[in-house]
Amino acid sequence: MKKVLGIMAAIIGVIVVLWLLSHIIEFMWELFWIAVVISVITYVVQKFR
């Protein structure tokens, strides 16, 4: 019984870690795009000055 609980706990742990990682990656990706957009806007503004 303890072995089964250990396996279940490990599976749940892996799922939680993967879920957190996917959210972190999504967040980083959004930050990356925001940074790209900001840098493009500043570049265009400087060019047209």
pLDDT in tens, 18-46: 999 999 999 999 999 999 999 999 999 99
Q: Which residue range forms the structural domain that includes residue 29?
A: 1-49
DSSP 8-state assignment for residue 22: H
Give how far Cα 24 sits from Cα of 15, 16, 20, 21, 29, Å.
14, 12, 6, 5, 9
Q: CA-CA distance, 19 to 13, in Å (whole number)?
A: 10
Q: Is the pLDDT of residue 11 over 90?
A: yes
**Domain count of the fold of the chain:** 1
